[in-house]
Amino acid sequence: MNDTTVSGPMDAGQAKALLDQANQVGSSVRSGASWPAISFLLGLGAVSSMGILAFTYARLAPDTSVALPSVFMGIWLVILMVTVLFFTRTSKRGFGLRWGVYMGLWGALWIAGMLLSGLTFQGELWFAGLMAALLTVSTTVCAWYEARR
């Protein structure tokens, strides 16, 4: 780390050097800020897409329930949420708005997938696969977008 102790009056060159150093520290803090959210989005996409497929397969098999996939999906969702809450210290500018868009997109796809695969397309593996693919693509694109910001 550079010595930032200044004795006596500061000239313009010293002030610029200190401002540059502060800007560099701020940039490095922000660059790692989104990794908990990125890992959450990727994990959420994996858990929710596999969940839709598991629920569909469980409905197709005789004398089975969706309890086991539900329990494990819940466990992984808790792990992901605790991780993002525990490790998120700061966020990038505009992240709150983007996060709302990410979660809104995921929520709409998840609800559509669960309702439609359970009511309209019950037991249709092609529909469950389509919804799983849409969930995977949407959360991955959101995570990659966040990583590139």
Question: Is 64 part of a structural domain of the chain?
Answer: yes
Into how many domains does the chain fold? 1
Contact 52, 113 (CB under 8 A): yes
Specify if 51 maps to a domain: yes
In a domain, 106, yes or no: yes
Q: Is residue 84 part of a domain?
A: yes
> Which pLDDT score, from 0 to 100, does residue 130 have?
97
Could you tell me the two tokens for 29?
Answer: 């803090």
Q: What is the spatial distance between Cα 149 and Cα 145, in angstroms, rounded to a whole number? A: 7
Q: Is residue 12 part of a domain?
A: no
pLDDT of residue 21: 75
**Does residue 61 have a pLDDT over 90?**
no
pLDDT of 33 over the 60 cut: no
Domain membership of residue 17 (yes or no) is: no
Q: Record the pTM.
A: 0.74
Residue 122 lies in a domain: yes
The answer to whether the CB of 55 falls within 8 A of the CB of 62 is no
In terms of residue numbers, what domain contains 117?
A: 30-148
The tokens for 78 are 């808790």
Tell whether 43 is covered by a domain: yes
